[in-house]
Amino acid sequence: MADVELFLELLLILVGLAIPIVALAHRLRMPPLVGFFAAGVVVGPHGVGLIDGPDQIRTLSELGVALLLFAVGLELSLSHVRQWARSVFVGGGLQVGATLGAGALAAAAAGVPPRQAIFYGALAAMSSTAIVTKAYADRGELDSPQGRSVISILLFQDLCILPLMLLLPLLAFGGGAGSGGGVELARGLGIMAALVVGGRFLVRWALDRVVLFRDRDLFTLCVSFFGIGAAVVTSAAGFSIAIGAFIAGLIISESEYGLQALSDVLPFRALFSGIFFTSLGMLLDIPAVFDQLPLLVLLSTVVVAVKIAIVAGVVLALGGMLKTALISGLSLAQIGEFSILLAAAGLPLGLFREGDYQLFLSVAVLSMMATPLFIHLAGPLAERVSARLGAAAPARSAPRGTLETMAGHTIIVGYGLAGRYLARVLTAAGITCAVVDQNPELVRRAREDGIAVVYGDGTQPAVLEHVRLREARTIVFAIASPADERRGAAVARKLSRAVRIVVRTRYIRASDDLLELGANDVVVEEFEASIELFARALDSYEIPINRIWREVESVRREHYGLLRGKAAPDLRLDALRHLGIHDALELVEVEEGAPAIGGSATSLELRRRTGAVQLAVVRDGKPIYRRAPDFHYQAGDTVVLVGNPASLESALALFRADGGSTAA
């Protein structure tokens, strides 16, 4: 009972701390993870000591990483691994292999035995999936060139964690016959294989039957059971509970129920992250940090510099641009949470020299705390370095001479799904277009499609001049990075006052900035999705398709007019436009004390007195079309009227509190 109470007290402290930390981070516009680190330092054994027992910290750390990896496993889609196979396996393999080798060589040069040196290299190879993906998601750059590069490498690192965990006994005991390392590895591989194969069958079989009950609570309980069960199995086999939780999340994510499971878990992700990163802060020994500060600064600088160089080199080797390579390198320069998991598993196996474990933890925690700052500064630094080295200017184009004669053409920046469809439509309509993209695979695809394509950054002046922006009629930015959208619109407008600039963006809140920067048109994905829902809703009422399209265009014009400040914000009109009447249509709300209250269109002789005609009355969100004998106007009703301006003005007075005499 005492253990349960102690555990609940620990959770109470952590969750209680999380509330002000997240609120303060939101106010200061800082990642909450930095606050969790700091809180861990304060409440840990090297701070005020609210949580000071090594067993308590170890329990919290294991629980935190297990919960976090369960959520990561649910988010990690193996379909992405297959889709980005080249970037994941070639790019990720080069990064992990090169970093592991460099770390091992550096450790060996410092006198570390070979097997331990390999272990140190493996620790250096991992980066923080949790911090980097959250930072990129918050910035809306997961689908940007640097986002794709970073996520591909992180995917490979995540997939490496299981083999590395299983190889630790071999590194600790060697491969001799008496060491048992090979037997341990074979046993671990067998257990993991059985867990994955059996788990996939069991999860699908069980969830197929659970969903028939249509009970969300039952579904969530079942998902939680699989996560806990896998953790228990791996723990009983002598491995970390985190590995089992990660495998369970991965298995569930590959089923058709993965999305629902993820939606159930996501609300608790902040709690999972808080527990894990606070426990990391508790591990940081502040006195030891100051005692070894020169060595710590040197090691952190070397690790960050080497990882930046390796990641940047890998991205360049795969055909990425220098700017993308530098941003990716800065984003992955830290030591990650998987490294801390490996370190915790390697410590009892004797894979650390005396004193190295605390030094490693200090480097890891400090590098992770610096990651949000690195990502924030990565873009401007990469821009400056690229400009100084002249790396932004070169642009490799499609068949030479194609662009030299272009005029009145459309430039498409970004050859993703939207850019590809746009290029096809323009080509089919006989309109010449040129594509700019910095993804080598998309450039190759555009060339295969017969499109004039330039490999380069479409937000750079030299690249836009290369595709003859001054002679173009339109430029369309179909990219997925808010920062690049804004920069591209500003640069294009600065180069040409005549070109029409169209920007696709995800959120309505970005449209004002883009219009101020020079965009002529902003296509908002968020709003276009609502337009599609509006069209589908009209279709469900069997309204003719030509009328639906007319109403959709009417709503689109009205809302985009609002974005530009050219339309009155009478959004109630949208809900009733399907009536097919656009001219001389007016809506008026019946005010308290108006002459019309208690009467009806018939009793008031509305048409004879004013010339206006009542089409409907909306009450409590429902339209009333028929004139029932017992119907009477009530305050708050919305009356839909049609007529010429004079008749409408006369009719409106009947429904206003101070207009009765005017109508008479």
Same domain, 420 and 353: no
* Span between the terminal Cα atoms of the chain, in Å: 82
Least confident among 63-72, 122-131, 321-330, 392-401 = 392-401
- Residue 535: Cβ within 10 Å count: 17
CB 57 within 8 A of CB 44: yes
**AA letter at 411:** I
Q: Among 387, 409, 441, identify where a domain stops.
A: 387
| Distance, CA of 95 to CA of 305 (rounded, Å) | 14
| Distance, CA of 364 to CA of 387 (rounded, Å) | 32
The average pLDDT across 401-420 equals: 81
What's the pLDDT score for residue 569?
Answer: 40
Give how far the C-alpha of residue 325 lies from the chain's centroid of Cα atoms, to the nearest Å.
20
| Distance, CA of 458 to CA of 323 (rounded, Å) | 12
For residue 90 the two structure tokens come to 């070639």
What's the pLDDT score for residue 31?
Answer: 66
| Nearest to 398, CA basis, from 448, 350, 438, 324 | 448
3-state secondary structure of 127: coil
What's the pLDDT score for residue 505?
Answer: 84
Same domain, 420 and 508: yes
Q: Is residue 555 assigned to a domain?
A: no
Q: Among 495, 519, 543, identify where a domain stops.
A: 519
The average pLDDT across 183-209 equals: 78
Same domain, 458 and 318: no
Q: Is residue 129 assigned to a domain?
A: yes
Mind listing the pLDDT tens digit for each residue in 375-385?
Answer: 888 888 887 88
The strand pair at 433-437 and 585-589 is best described as unpaired
**Residue 302: pLDDT over 90:** yes
Q: Is residue 150 assigned to a domain?
A: yes
Q: State pTM to two decimals.
A: 0.64
Same domain, 288 and 410: no
| Distance, CA of 559 to CA of 571 (rounded, Å) | 8
Q: Is residue 337 assigned to a domain?
A: yes
**Bridge partners of residue 455, in order along the sequence:** 396, 437
Same domain, 375 and 422: no
Cβ-in-10-Å burial (0-12, 13-18, 19+) of 664 comes to exposed
For residue 426, give every residue at least 6 positions away whose Cβ sits within 8 Å of its Cβ, in sequence order, or none.
410, 432, 433
Predicted confidence band at 329 (pLDDT cuts at 50, 70, 90)? very high
Q: Is residue 535 assigned to a domain?
A: no
Query: What one-character DSSP code corresponds to residue 654?
Result: G
Same domain, 137 and 237: yes
Same domain, 333 and 473: no
What's the pLDDT score for residue 333?
Answer: 94
What's the pLDDT score for residue 561?
Answer: 56
H or E element that contains 501: strand 500-505
Same domain, 375 and 237: yes
Q: CATH number of the domain that 645 lies in?
A: 3.30.70.1450
In Å, how far are 446, 462, 660 from 443, measured between CA atoms? Answer: 5, 18, 69
| Distance, CA of 250 to CA of 257 (rounded, Å) | 12
Mind listing the pLDDT tens digit for each residue in 627-663?
Answer: 777 888 988 888 888 877 788 888 888 888 876 444 3
The residue written with tokens 């490498």 in the block is: 153
Same domain, 87 and 122: yes
* Domain residue limits at 306: 2-387
Same domain, 617 and 493: no
Q: CATH number of the domain that 505 lies in?
A: 3.40.50.720
What's the pLDDT score for residue 544?
Answer: 62
What's the pLDDT score for residue 556?
Answer: 65
Q: Is residue 529 assigned to a domain?
A: no
What's the pLDDT score for residue 574?
Answer: 43
CB 625 within 8 A of CB 616: yes
Least confident among 50-54, 349-353, 388-392 = 388-392
H or E element that contains 640: strand 638-642
The average pLDDT across 219-224 equals: 87
Q: Among 369, 387, 405, identify where a domain stops.
A: 387
Q: Compare 592 and 4 and report the one with higher pLDDT.
A: 592
Q: CATH number of the domain that 219 lies in?
A: 1.20.1530.20
Same domain, 435 and 366: no
**Residue 122: pLDDT over 90:** yes
What's the pLDDT score for residue 12?
Answer: 80
In 3-state terms the chain splits into helix, strand, coil percentages (rounded to 5) of 65, 5, 25
| Nearest to 253, CA basis, from 155, 135, 150 | 155
The average pLDDT across 426-448 equals: 85
The average pLDDT across 400-428 equals: 81
What's the pLDDT score for residue 542?
Answer: 58
Q: Is residue 12 assigned to a domain?
A: yes
| Distance, CA of 131 to CA of 138 (rounded, Å) | 11
The average pLDDT across 261-276 equals: 73
Number of domains within the chain: 3
- Proportion of the chain above pLDDT 90, given as a percent: 13
Query: What one-character DSSP code corresponds to residue 590?
Result: P
Q: Is residue 512 assigned to a domain?
A: yes
For residue 410 the two structure tokens come to 């459309």
What's the pLDDT score for residue 56?
Answer: 67
What's the pLDDT score for residue 428?
Answer: 79
Same domain, 18 and 76: yes
3-state secondary structure of 586: strand
Q: For 402-478, list the strands marked E by DSSP.
A: 410-413, 433-437, 452-455, 474-477
What's the pLDDT score for residue 391?
Answer: 52
The average pLDDT across 260-289 equals: 75
Predicted confidence band at 568 (pLDDT cuts at 50, 70, 90)? very low
**Residue 88: pLDDT over 60:** yes
**Residue 530: pLDDT over 70:** no
What's the pLDDT score for residue 539?
Answer: 66
Report which listed range, 24-33, 89-98, 550-559, is most confident.
89-98
Mean pLDDT of the chain: 78
Mind listing the pLDDT tens digit for each residue in 454-495?
Answer: 888 888 888 888 888 988 999 999 887 788 888 899 999 999
Alpha helices by DSSP H, 174-215:
181-210
What's the pLDDT score for residue 305?
Answer: 94
**Torsional sign, CA 103, 109, 110, 114:** positive
The average pLDDT across 504-513 equals: 78
The residue written with tokens 């965009």 in the block is: 519
What's the pLDDT score for residue 106?
Answer: 92
